[in-house]
Structure 1
Amino acid sequence: MKIMCLNGWGGKLHEELLPYLETTAPEILCLQEVVNSPETEKDWLTYRDGDHILPQRANFFRDVRRALPEHVAVFCPAAQGVLWDEARSVPSQWGLATFVHRSLPIVGQVQAFVHKDFSPSGYGEHPRSRSAHGFRVFDYNANRPVSVTHMHGLRDLNGKMDTPERLAQAQRLLNLSRQVSEPDDLKVICGDFNVEPDSQTLSILSQVGMFELVTGRGFNGTRNSHYKKPRRYADYMLINREQEVKSFDVIYNPEVSDHCPLILEL
């Protein structure tokens, strides 16, 4: 089984990303920073937050769903705000999504928030609402259940340092994993955590027996040339039984986002 975790950057590099997903074809894709604007057929809209202006692929969730037609797709919105078609505002939801190949029956799942709650009337003040999705599948090839939980960690405008909000977020993430898992499951926890390797978040997860693969296997960050800031870590993938890892890689090329895909093969 191949599991990919990626912050999709709102689909900014969708022309590179979609063929990559078709070729790589992970059985499970955990995708963060997903845009869903079902009221428009436009390909592109604009996100505006003061002087922070970004192009957004208007129906990024739909685009990925079409690239992976054999997968069950679940969208987990964190907020509904507006994107812009020039001077016209367009309602748009933002969150994360999960794609599971139909050969893997989903036998349990939980969707919840690790920070704040659903924001129905705007994206809100920073740090904004953050959702998470936990799910349990049965892998017939290995004859075992596997539980996977992913989140997009809150963004603090002051940086990636530990805060009480991030501490609470880490505990909620762990609780979600426990809620969707059975004691003997092979467990994976992943996502764009928006923290440094020495964070309380990773410490909390390691204390319950989760092994972190990015730093644990010597990778020097999860960002590529599209990211211009000096701190290179954001994304992590943890597993409770490292011996079950067939391979793990951080993909620096091709560049399909400003984050690198994390790929775990069991």
Structure 2
Amino acid sequence: MRITCLNGWGGTLHDHLLPWLADAPPDILCLQEVVHSPDTEADWLTYRDGDHVLPQRANFFRDVCAAMPDHQAVFCPAARGVLWQGETAIPSFWGLATFVHRARPIIGQVQGFVHKDYAHDGYGEHPRSRSAHGVRVHDADLGRSVSVVHMHGLRDLAGKMDTPERAAQAARLRDMSRQMSRPGDLRVVCGDFNVLPDSETLEILRADGLTELVTAGGHDGTRTSHYTKPGKFADYMLVDDPDAVRRFDVVRAPEVSDHCPLELEL
């Protein structure tokens, strides 16, 4: 089984990302920063937040579904705000999504919020609402079930330092993983956590018996050349049974986002 975790950057590099996914789709894709704007057929919209202006693939969720037609897809919105087509405001959902190959039976799911609650009338003030989603699938080759939970950790304008809010979201993520898992399952927890390697977030998850693979593998960051700020760590993947890991990698090429995909093979 191959599991990929990626912050998709709102589909900004979709011309690179979609062929990469279609060429060798993982069994499970955990995708953060997903845009879903069902009221428009436009290809591109613009996100505006003060001086922060970004192109967004208007129906990024639909695009990825089309690139992976053999996968079941679940979109989990964190907020409903607006993107812009020129000076026209277009309602748009923002959140994360999970894609599971149809050959992998989904035998459990969990969905909820790790920070705040659903923002139905605008994206809200920073730090904004953050959701998490998990699936439990059975792998006949492994002879066991695998539970995979991912989140997009809150973005604090002050930086990636430890805060009570980040500690609380880590505890909620841990509890969601516990809730869905059963004895004997292989547990995987992943996502764009928006924290540094020495964070309290990772300590909370390690204390629950999880091993973090990015830092354990000696990788020097998880951001691509499209990210020009200092501090190259954001994305993490943890497992509770390191002996089950056949391969783990931080994928450097092709660059499909300003984040590197994390790939786990069991």
TM range (shorter): over 0.9
Tell me the equivalent position of 2:232: 232
| Structure-1 residue corresponding to 2:56 | 56
1:181-208 Cα deviation digits (max 9, x unpaired): 1122100000000000000010011111
2:122 matched residue in structure 1: 122
Give the ranges of 4+ consecutive aligned residues of structure 1 lying more than 4 Å apart after TM superposition: none
Task: Spell out, residue by residue over 1:75-132, the C-alpha distance to the aligned partner (whole angstroms, 9 max, x if none).
Answer: 0000000000101110000000000000111101011000000000000000000000
Amino acid aligned to 2:85: D
Query: Shift of the alpha carbon at 1:64?
Result: 0.2
Runs of at least 5 residues in structure 1 that lack an aligned partner in the other structure? none
Distance 2:50 2:232 in 1: 25
Q: CA deviation at 1:24?
A: 2.3
Name the structure 1 match of 2:176.
Answer: 176
Letter in 1 for 2:76: C
Q: Quote the residue 2:131 is aligned against.
A: 131
Aligned twin of 1:28: 28
Check whether the contact 2:73–2:97 (CA below 8 A) recurs between aligned residues. yes
Tell me which residue corresponds to 1:39: 39
Q: Distance in 2 between matches of 1:211 and 1:183?
A: 18
Aligned to 1:84: 84
Offset of residue 226 of structure 1: 0.2
- Matches of 1:140 and 1:102, distance apart in 2: 14
Using the size of structure 1 for normalisation, the TM-score is 0.99
Counterparts of residues 67-78 of structure 1 (less than 5 Å):
67-78=67-78
Say which is worse superposed, 122-131 or 133-142, in terms of deviation.
Answer: 133-142
Quote how far apart the aligned CAs of 1:144 are. 1.2
Residue number in structure 1 paired with 2:6: 6
Q: Is it true that 1:222 corresponds to 2:218 in the alignment? A: no
Counterpart of 2:204 in 1: which secondary structure?
Answer: helix
* Alignment check: 8 A CA contact 2:144 2:184 kept: no
SS in 2 for 1:6: strand
Paired AA for residue 215 in structure 2: T
Q: What's the offset of the Cα at 1:140?
A: 1.7
Q: Over residues 171-190 of structure 1, what are the superposed CA-to-partner deviations in whole Å (9 max), with x where a residue is unaligned?
A: 00000001111122100000
Percent identical among aligned pairs is: 68
| Aligned mates of 2:124, 2:95 — CA distance in 1 | 13
Instruction: Give the aligned residue type for 1:134.
Output: G
Name the counterpart of 1:109: 109
Cα displacement (A) at 1:143:
2.0
Q: Is the 8 A contact 2:147 2:187 kept in 1?
A: yes
Give the drift of 1:51: 1.1
Query: SS of 1:112's equivalent?
Result: strand
Partner of 1:210: 210
Rounded Cα–Cα distance in structure 2 between residues aligned with 1:232 and 1:68: 29
- In structure 2, give the amino acid aligned to 1:180: M
**What is the TM-score normalised by the length of structure 2?**
0.99
Q: Deviations over 1:128-167 (max 9, x none)?
A: 0000001100112222100000000000000000000000
Distance 2:258 2:187 in 1: 27
Q: What amino acid does structure 2 have at the position aligned with 1:155?
A: R
1:193 and 1:199 mapped to 2: Cα distance?
Answer: 10
**CA–CA distance in structure 1, aligned partners of residues 134 and 70 of structure 2:** 20
Q: Let me know the Cα RMSD of the aligned residues.
A: 0.5
Match of 2:160? 160
Opposite residue 252 of structure 1, the aligned amino acid is: R
SS in 2 for 1:142: coil
Deviation (angstroms), 1:230: 1.1
